[in-house]
Structure 1
Amino acid sequence: MADDRERPPRPPGVGYLIRTDGAARGNPGPASAGAVLIRLDRRDARDPLAPPDASVSEYLGIRTNNVAEYVGVVRAVALARDLGAERVEMLLDSKLIVEQLHGRWRVKDAKLQPLWAEAVRTLKSFPRGWTAGHVPRAQNGAADALANAAIDRVAAGGPAVVIIRPD
């Protein structure tokens, strides 16, 4: 296994725009999370149709929609950190998560509390900070497609998790 000294250095200041979504067919029901990550230095970074630089599509088993939404955020920010991001900007269609991450709404659901804590812990690790904003569902089509693809993929006998990283 290669050690970190053999990897090429990452460019300073890399950041990602993140769009996430969770899906649950029933609540609770078969659930999944999807996320797309797009480098902030791309001109099309904020275009909802921009092709992702990295993505996550993960089947979660039987969960609620809010757990699935949170897992999408947790997986996306962890992947951004692993890719060397110094900043993340999230555009989420879950107002609940946006408000909870900013501390404006309490996290009452015991199942969400550890996911919220993990998301906040990871977000605090980005040296150039983070933002989270609410967008209409129509602007999260790519993340939604990845979430739903995970449920369909597992039902067809495929892998539970697919992570695409930049070349």
Structure 2
Amino acid sequence: MNVIQFDGGAVPNPGTRAIGVIIIENGIVIKEISRKLDGIGTNNEAEYSALIEGLKQAISLGWKDIFVQGDSKLVVNQVAGSWKVNKENLKPLNAEAKKLLSQFQSAKVEWIPREMNSRADAAASRALYRIKSSAFGI
């Protein structure tokens, strides 16, 4: 099974953003992304950016069937079409995520509790901590 776990954060919110993405193939983590995003933005923008990065990674790996997990109810439900996208800043991110998802033969996106998404959360937090630390000369 090919799994993408994603998480994003902003400190403060809105503020500096970072993403965490875990790429899992047949139960083995093959890639972990922990990266700061340019500019200032919201936590939800960071969550979407993490999802989009994970989908791009899966496409580059040639995956046809994916299982995506994230702890953002907003992103998961908006991508699934269960919730409307009301914020203008999220509309292009939602459209991009849906366009990428359409490139797979099958794609399931599901919400998982934060404790089940701990590795992606830790990857995003590491990038945020590096940002915070460098700002204070730590």
Q: TM-score, normalised by structure 2?
A: 0.89
Q: Which residue of 2 aligns with 1:139?
A: 116
Q: Which residue of 2 aligns with 1:28?
A: 14
Which of the numbers 61, 67, 77 marks the counterpart of 1:83?
61
- What is the deviation of 1:154? 3.8
Structure having the higher helix fraction is: 2
Q: Which residue of 2 aligns with 1:4?
A: none
One-letter identity of the residue aligned with 2:62: G
Q: Which residue of 1 aligns with 2:44?
A: 66
Matched, 1:55 2:32: yes
Structure having the higher strand fraction is: 2
SS in structure 1 at match of 2:45 = helix
Question: How many aligned positions are there?
Answer: 133
Identity of aligned residues (%): 36
Structure 1: 5+ residue stretches without partners: 1-14, 46-50, 158-167
Q: TM-score, normalised by structure 1?
A: 0.75
Q: Which residue of 1 aligns with 2:81?
A: 103
CA RMSD of aligned residues (A): 1.5
Tell me how far apart the structure 2 counterparts of residues 55 and 126 of structure 1 sit (CA, whole Å): 21
- What is the deviation of 1:75? 0.3
* 1:125-164 → structure 2 map (5 Å cutoff): 125-127=103-105, 129-155=106-132
Which of the numbers 111, 114, 117 marks the counterpart of 2:95?
117
SS in structure 2 at match of 1:59 = strand
